[in-house]
């Protein structure tokens, strides 16, 4: 079993499980779980635009990220994309 520390910001906080506080929660995934599995567990639409940081490294907004395998103890942060102008 993998334990992933989630940090969600702004509109993504709504997807955290009940009892989560300050936009943070520990999420369990089966061994070999992917970022896509994490999104499914939290009911976050895979096509929802998002910026993702895993262990302090920006992953951008790529759909290929869904296949990325996660490891026990990973820290995943999800932000809405920032608007430019």
Q: To the nearest whole percent, how much of the chain has pLDDT over 70?
A: 93
DSSP 8-state symbol, 15: G
61 three-class SS? coil
Give domain limits for the chain.
2-79
3-class secondary-structure state, position 40:
helix
Could you give the CA distance from residue 60 to residue 49 in angstroms, rounded to a whole number?
10
Query: How do residues 29-53 score in pLDDT, each as one tens digit?
Result: 999 999 999 999 999 998 888 899 9
Residues 71/34, Cβ–Cβ less than 8 Å: no
Cβ 27 vs Cβ 6: under 8 Å:
yes
* Architecture category of domain 2-79 in CATH: Roll (3.10)
Whether the model clears a pTM of 0.85, i.e. scores above it, the answer is yes
Q: What is the pLDDT of residues 53-79, one digit of tens each?
A: 999 999 876 668 899 999 999 999 999
């Amino acid at each position: 079993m993998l334990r992933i520390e989630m940090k969600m910001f702004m509109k993504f906080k709504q997807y955290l499980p009940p009892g989560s506080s300050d936009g943070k929660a520990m999420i369990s995934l089966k061994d070999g779980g992917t970022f896509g599995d994490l999104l499914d567990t939290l009911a976050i639409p895979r096509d929802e635009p998002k910026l993702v940081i895993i262990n302090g490294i920006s992953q951008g907004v790529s759909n290929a990220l869904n296949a990325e395998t996660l490891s026990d103890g990973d820290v995943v942060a999800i932000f809405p994309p920032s608007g430019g102008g």
